[in-house]
Structure 1
Amino acid sequence: MGVMTSNALAKEGDLQQELKIAAVSQRADIKNNQIIFNGPVKITQGSININADELRAFSAENGQTKMLIAIGNPATFSQELDDGRIGTASANEIRYDLATTGLLLTGNAKLDQAGSKVTGNIIRYNITAQELIAESTGKGEDRVITIIQPENFQTEDVPKQKLPEIPLKKQGNQ
């Protein structure tokens, strides 16, 4: 049995909120159970925000939306973390599986949580479990890059040392 963190609980609250899609126009492809939204498109669900140039929403047989595919240059995702900071992600394509709460970021994928950054060709992130898998193509110089900020680097916690005062020599009369 896994231990739930307060982070996961905060995110769970977002996932129970309604999903709102604002777009310039939309058209339904009923045969393929999808709605295509033309942008700019803004999707909100609690503190989750997704911005895209185009969005495809796929529904299951019961009409429930099951998958969102946000396309952009880049498409962006953001969510408030439990400590009030904002976690952000961007990619050419963001797939948001509402059933599994999984994000699949493809093409120039970037994820930034509290200053720690991961970049790669593909990033998989589960919102509820907070699990992340990043992949590169492995070709040429393409690599997964991770930048982790030092945890105890807090400038305000470092006591300021007072420099000794150096008496200035007075210039003599000229």
Structure 2
Amino acid sequence: MKLNKLIAATWLSLLSLQAIAVESDLQQEVKIEAASQEADIKNNQIIFNGPVEVTQGSIKINADELRAFTKEQSNGKVLVATGTPATYSQIMEDGRPAKASAAEIRYELATRTLTLIGNATLEQDGSQVTGNQIRYNIEQQQLIAESTGNDRVITIIQPENYQELNEPDSKTQEQQ
């Protein structure tokens, strides 16, 4: 039972990611820049060939290829970025960056869900979660990380004073 409470406390501290996402990001337009694009109108899909950069406010996704489509029987738009790796970054409300990378990044705009598949990593302030798959609901700040076979989910949480230890000493800078 104590182990379950420890695991829950660990996840809660990482899930908060020390900040919340900038709400205005999710209300802005999605802009996609690519080297080329192909439209498959019959299947309601556009394929962007890279390098590809997607921006929505401070959210940035970089990939080798991006597929954008609407789910069947819904209006939910989905972006699937692939790369070696594909990357995601966002500036949080407090100004600190959050980053993610994976072989595939799936971003569902309607549910504001980010799914990282294949060598997935999510990090902020030196703390990170890695696994084969990480699913993160940006709006609700809920995270699920999974691995398969002998692979394990790894969580690294920096000590409370991590920021203080990594900030340049103002006295040292003044002396220079």
How many pairs are equivalent?
A: 152
Using the TM superposition, give the Cα deviation of residue 60 of structure 1 relative to its aligned residue in structure 2, in angstroms.
5.4
Which structure has the highest helix share of the two? 2
Could you tell me which residue of structure 1 aligns to residue 64 of structure 2? 53
User: What residue identity is the alignment partner of 2:49?
Assistant: N
Match of 1:106 among 110, 114, 117: 117
- 1:152 is aligned to 2:152: no
User: What residue identity is the alignment partner of 1:148?
Assistant: I
The structure showing larger relative contact order (alpha-carbon pairs under 8 Å, at least 6 residues apart) is 2
Match of 1:126 among 113, 137, 143: 137
Could you tell me which residue of structure 1 aligns to residue 6 of structure 2? none
> How many angstroms apart in 2 are the aligned matches of 1:32 and 1:65?
14
**% identical equivalent positions:** 67
- 1:12 is aligned to 2:20: no
Q: Is the 8 A contact 1:41 1:51 kept in 2?
A: yes
Query: Any idea what SS the aligned residue of 1:15 has?
Result: helix
Query: Any idea what SS the aligned residue of 1:68 has?
Result: strand
Q: Is the 8 A contact 1:57 1:65 kept in 2?
A: no
Using the TM superposition, give the Cα deviation of residue 7 of structure 1 relative to its aligned residue in structure 2, in angstroms.
4.2
> How many angstroms apart in 1 are the aligned matches of 2:154 and 2:76?
33
Could you tell me which residue of structure 2 aligns to residue 71 of structure 1? 82
> How many angstroms apart in 2 are the aligned matches of 1:43 and 1:13?
16
Using the TM superposition, give the Cα deviation of residue 96 of structure 1 relative to its aligned residue in structure 2, in angstroms.
0.1
Moved runs in structure 1, 4+ residues, more than 2 A? 5-8, 59-65, 152-156
Question: Structure 1 28/65 Cα, relative in aligned 2: closer, same or farther at 3 Å?
Answer: farther
TM-score (norm 2): 0.79
Match of 2:38 among 14, 21, 27: 27
Unaligned runs of 5+ in 1: 161-174
Could you tell me which residue of structure 1 aligns to residue 152 of structure 2? 143
Larger Rg: 1
- 1:96 is aligned to 2:110: no
Once the two structures are superposed, what CA deviation does each residue of 1:30-57 show, in whole Å capped at 9, x if it has no partner? 1111000000000000000000000000
1:156-171 alignment to 2 at 5 Å? none
TM-score (norm 1): 0.80
Query: Any idea what SS the aligned residue of 1:31 has?
Result: coil
Once the two structures are superposed, what CA deviation does each residue of 1:73-122 show, in whole Å capped at 9, x if it has no partner? 10000000122111000000000000000001000000111211110000
User: What residue identity is the alignment partner of 2:115?
Assistant: L
Unaligned runs of 5+ in 2: 1-15, 172-176
Using the TM superposition, give the Cα deviation of residue 59 of structure 1 relative to its aligned residue in structure 2, in angstroms.
2.5
Q: Is the 8 A contact 2:91 2:97 kept in 1?
A: yes
User: What residue identity is the alignment partner of 2:95?
Assistant: G
RMSD over aligned Cα, in angstroms?
2.5
